[in-house]
Amino acid sequence: MNPISVVGSINIDLVLSVPHFPESGETVAGGDLQIFPGGKGANQAVAAARLGSDVTMIGRVGDDHFGHQCLETLSNEGVDTSGVLIDKETPTGIAQILLDPDGHNQIALSPGANFKVDADQVKTHLPKGPGIVGGVFEVPTVAIDIAFQVSADSKSGSVLNAAPPLHIPASLLANTNILVVNEVEATIHSGIEVKDIDTAIEAAKHLCKSGQLSTIVTLGDKGSVMSDGNTQDHHPAFKVRVTDTTAAGDTFCGALMVATAEGMSTTESIRFASAAGALAATKMGAQTSLPTRSEVDAFLSAPQQL
């Protein structure tokens, strides 16, 4: 199996359960504050590691308690952290997450050291040779652009999670093999309002025209759609009891990288990623919710309701 490298964010998540999301000017009393290691990049790296891949993380943390906690967690999960730098001047990124009783979330982000990841760091620490490179937009796009250029030169595969929905440089799209976005991101990147499965397919097809890539639009409990510009499919979601959706999308992306590295077909890859994402939504927290390979394999081998 090809190794995986992830260029992305490393955060600490501050999670507060609330009875409902507050309106503007409203104060809502919540439960006890919970603190979890997170960050979309780190979540995807840990997800891939728990699913059996050799994973290298490229990112940046502050020289503070949260930063050292994040590094320790990544190392304990078997992720190679030699590409994670400690910034002496900028604190570790923080995500403030509000969680409602249905498991839906609202997130506010302070990027911190994540926005100090640069091209030189990527060039120095990105492993050479074939593999899968993943990128997610909680670090500067120039860092991911360079990483994907290097991956293209070494004949590696690439998975871009264009979240949050920042501008995607044409050079980055040209070196992207698989683009993953949710409904909101698909709407912003394509200019097509995603309201249902049909409009999601339309948006996915439109985004495929931007380069030689396949586009996956994730739709939560409606599953996902995929288009390569010529063919398109809808993949239903697995039915689970949702507790917290915080890292479900990151788990999907990490699992998709694993499936791609293992040479699964597109249909097999999306099914595998969907199962992993569904399992992540059944537990609290970001990295604390990520399933192991044995859990995903057992889930897929059991009778399922779609």
The one catalytic residue among 80, 102, 250, 297: 250
Query: Could you give phi then psi for residue 38, rounded to 5 degrees?
Result: -155, -145
Strand order in the sheet with 214-218: 80-87, 55-62, 4-7, 132-136, 157-161, 178-182, 214-218, 224-227, 232-235
Burial of 101 (0-12, 13-18, 19+ CB in 10 A): exposed
Annotation marks residue 198 as catalytic: no
Q: From CA 102, how far away is CA 232, in angstroms rounded?
A: 31
Residue with tokens 């199996």: 1
> What is the token pair recorded at 253?
């992306």
Burial of 89 (0-12, 13-18, 19+ CB in 10 A): exposed
The secondary structure of 171-190 as a DSSP string is: HHHHT-SEEEEEHHHHHHHH
Radius of gyration of the CA atoms of the chain, in A: 18
- Enzyme catalytic residues: 250
